[in-house]
């Protein structure tokens, strides 16, 4: 068995990474793609590699010279690499391809080295490595029959999105017998090239072969976590995250700040989203109107205020909609004057936006709690004009009832001060203590109260980026709106606001489900040794670890179980590397996390 790699291309989309080197010399976490490939081949016992090279071939040859003495590397030069495609590179290697059974692979792949061993162990003589289709994938896909034979290979023009559940993406690693290459593949390759030219793809020939006889090529299925194709810098960044380990893996994942749909097998316990809402009926309604929403501009801020006012029972000139609560927090910070009392630790967006000069830190007690009287006293002693209250607090889950918050608002009002009340997570409180300050009568009676709410988090639509701010000071609302773009909300977000009322009964039920599951989840966590669980009325739970650091637990959960949690070791107010925050997902996911944590904590 030998290996054949096609490495003649220029890799233009990788920009600076291929300016002075070949595509296969791009490093992923300090090791180049070619090094990863050769070491994987050697690990499987393959000691001969034929490489078709072109662009920067001398650089590649110098790089590999003497590097792997046990690997016999032969080079075939493609002198017209800049005007041909991989069909011609493969054709140049036809003699090598017909001389021995071959592992054929492309040069832009990073993959789990066990894949090569698995190909050799598989009894089938001709195999294509394929992966169940995932949203991030692009390029050629296959359809399999019930015997895992390649029943069809589809190009982009044949792709049907509604059929993706039946599709398998080609990984561009193949095991081909010399008989297949000699008697089938090369003759077809030759004929196709003569008919259509040299600027084609070799996969197109496999497509023709599979159409004529689907018994010739079988599929070896792997999942998307075990490989990645690198075509541009964005791909490179994702590949580095997928194939990193330990503290680097955790750090890279933390730096992505979302976009976790690219990691579909990962359980995200870091970001806070309602798992029980929206219902499928709402999602289907959005989907049914996808093209209309995509092709049309959204309305301006006046229409958004009308829609949000309808949902929350607020006069339109008393409410504004933002591209997530973060946009509104930023706008608010720009229009208000005076210092702000901020309980610490807290959601960093507020102190970051207010800045050190305007932020008065009010540190909480050892259980991350404080009293309303402490907030009033701090505002008075510091001469602050505003008090921030996130309720439930993030990340502690600390909660104040409505009577206490009303007392705070009235006390501040008597001294000309304002309450900024963030109720992004309040809907997840127990039903008997759940409340909202998004009430026109309450706000009219308490004109010093400014309410902020993240729709993205509580309503389970973070991709839509929605948040609201409300206050009976219409001048303040108008000034916040002026800090946003005229079309800050896209048509999908606007449509969600328009249709939400039809589904509000589902939302109430979803919040009740979160509260119930949070209680079960917290009770199970409390049974584990070495964990202190703090009371919470939010869709997250704060925990203190005694027998393992938060960084170590977070790293092991990510590396071993593909579970991503919030490590609070770098967050102000959580010293010692002992604290984590766990989102509340559904019972199935939470049970998986509990099992993984138990395994780590008891070993």
Whole-structure pTM over 0.85, yes or no?
yes
For residue 465, what are the contacts with CB-CB under 8 A and spacing of at least 6? 323, 324, 327, 456, 489, 490, 493
pLDDT-derived band at 72, boundaries 50, 70, 90: very high
Which tens digits make up the pLDDT trace of 541-562? 999 999 999 999 999 999 999 9
φ and ψ of 222, to 5 deg? -130, 165
pLDDT-derived band at 593, boundaries 50, 70, 90: very high
Two structure tokens written together for 434: 């759940």
pLDDT-derived band at 200, boundaries 50, 70, 90: confident
Residue 215 has pLDDT above 80, yes or no: no
Helix (H, G, I), strand (E, B) or coil at 298: coil
pLDDT-derived band at 136, boundaries 50, 70, 90: confident
CATH no. of 2-239: 3.90.550.10
CATH class of residue range 247-274+509-601:
alpha beta
List, in sequence order, every beta strand (DSSP E) within 413-455: 418-422, 449-454
Cβ atoms within 10 A of the Cβ of 486, count? 10
CATH class of residue range 280-505:
alpha beta
Average pLDDT of every residue of the chain:
94
CB 33 within 8 A of CB 58: no
Would you give the distance in Å from CA 213 to the centre of its chain?
40
What is the arithmetic mean of pLDDT over 357-381?
93
Start and end residues for every CATH 3.90.550.10 domain found in the chain: 2-239
Say what angle helices 550-561 and 587-601 make with each other, to 10 degrees. Answer: 120
Start and end residues for every CATH 3.40.640.10 domain found in the chain: 280-505
Sheet containing 531-533: order of strands = 267-269, 563-567, 579-583, 540-545, 531-533
pLDDT-derived band at 162, boundaries 50, 70, 90: confident
Which tens digits make up the pLDDT trace of 387-416? 999 999 999 999 999 999 999 999 999 999
Two structure tokens written together for 512: 């009740």
Start and end residues for every CATH 3.90.1150.10 domain found in the chain: 247-274+509-601
pLDDT-derived band at 258, boundaries 50, 70, 90: confident
């Amino acid at each position: 068995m030998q290996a054949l790699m096609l490495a003649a291309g220029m890799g233009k989309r990788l920009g600076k990474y291929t300016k002075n080197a070949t595509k296969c010399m791009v490093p992923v976490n300090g090791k180049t793609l070619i090094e990863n490939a050769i070491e994987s081949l050697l690990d499987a016992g393959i000691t001969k590699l034929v490489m078709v090279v072109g662009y920067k071939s001398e650089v590649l040859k110098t790089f590999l010279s003497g590097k792997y003495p046990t690997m016999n590397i032969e080079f075939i030069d493609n002198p017209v690499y800049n005007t041909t495609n991989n069909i011609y590179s493969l054709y140049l290697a036809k003699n090598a391809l017909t001389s021995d059974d071959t592992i054929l692979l492309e040069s832009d792949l990073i993959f789990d080295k066990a894949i090569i061993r698995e190909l050799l162990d598989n009894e089938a003589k001709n195999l294509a490595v394929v992966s169940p289709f995932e949203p991030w994938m692009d390029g050629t896909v296959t359809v399999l029959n019930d015997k895992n034979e390649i029943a069809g290979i589809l190009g982009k023009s044949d792709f049907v999105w509604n059929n993706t559940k039946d599709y398998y993406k080609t990984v561009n690693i193949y095991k081909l017998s010399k008989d297949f290459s000699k008697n089938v593949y090369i003759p077809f390759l030759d004929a196709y090239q003569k008919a259509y030219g040299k600027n084609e793809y070799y996969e197109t020939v496999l497509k023709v072969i599979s159409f004529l006889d689907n018994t010739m090529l079988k599929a070896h299925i792997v999942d998307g976590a075990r490989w990645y194709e690198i075509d541009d810098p964005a791909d490179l960044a994702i590949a580095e995250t997928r194939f990193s380990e330990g503290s680097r893996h955790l750090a890279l994942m933390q730096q992505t700040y979302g976009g976790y749909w690219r990691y579909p097998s990962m359980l995200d316990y870091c970001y806070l989203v309602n798992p029980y809402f929206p219902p499928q009926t709402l999602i289907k309604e959005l989907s049914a109107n996808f093209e209309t929403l995509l092709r049309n501009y959204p309305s301006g801020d006046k229409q958004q205020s009308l829609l949000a006012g309808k949902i929350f029972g607020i006069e339109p000139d008393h409410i504004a909609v933002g591209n997530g609560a973060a946009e509104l927090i930023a706008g608010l910070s720009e229009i208000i004057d005076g210092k702000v009392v901020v309980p610490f630790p807290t959601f960093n967006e507020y102190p970051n936006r207010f800045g050190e000069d305007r932020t008065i830190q009010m540190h909480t007690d050892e259980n991350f709690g404080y009293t309303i009287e402490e907030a009033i006293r701090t505002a008075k002693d510091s001469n602050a004009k505003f008090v921030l209250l996130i309720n439930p607090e993030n990340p502690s889950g600390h909660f104040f009832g409505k009577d206490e918050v009303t007392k705070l608002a009235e006390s501040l009002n008597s001294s000309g001060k304002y309450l900024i009340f963030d109720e992004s997570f309040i809907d997840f409180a127990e039903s008997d203590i759940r409340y909202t300050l998004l009430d026109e009568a309450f706000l009219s009676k308490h004109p010093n109260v400014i309410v902020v709410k993240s729709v993205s988090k509580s309503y389970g639509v973070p991709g839509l980026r929605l948040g609201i701010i409300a206050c009976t000071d219409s001048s303040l609302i108008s000034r916040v709106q002026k800090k946003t773009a005229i079309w800050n909300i896209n048509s999908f977000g606007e449509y969600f606001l328009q249709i939400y009322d039809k589904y509000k009964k589902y939302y109430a039920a979803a919040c009740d489900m979160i509260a119930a599951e949070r209680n079960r989840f917290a009770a199970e966590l409390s049974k584990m040794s070495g964990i202190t669980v703090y009371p919470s009325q939010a869709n997250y739970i704060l925990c203190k670890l005694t027998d393992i650091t938060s960084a170590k637990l977070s790293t092991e959960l990510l590396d071993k179980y593909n579970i991503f949690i919030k490590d609070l070791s770098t967050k102000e107010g959580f010293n010692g590397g002992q604290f984590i925050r766990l989102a509340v997902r559904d019972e199935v996911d939470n049970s998986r996390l509990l099992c993984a944590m138990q395994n780590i904590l008891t070993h």
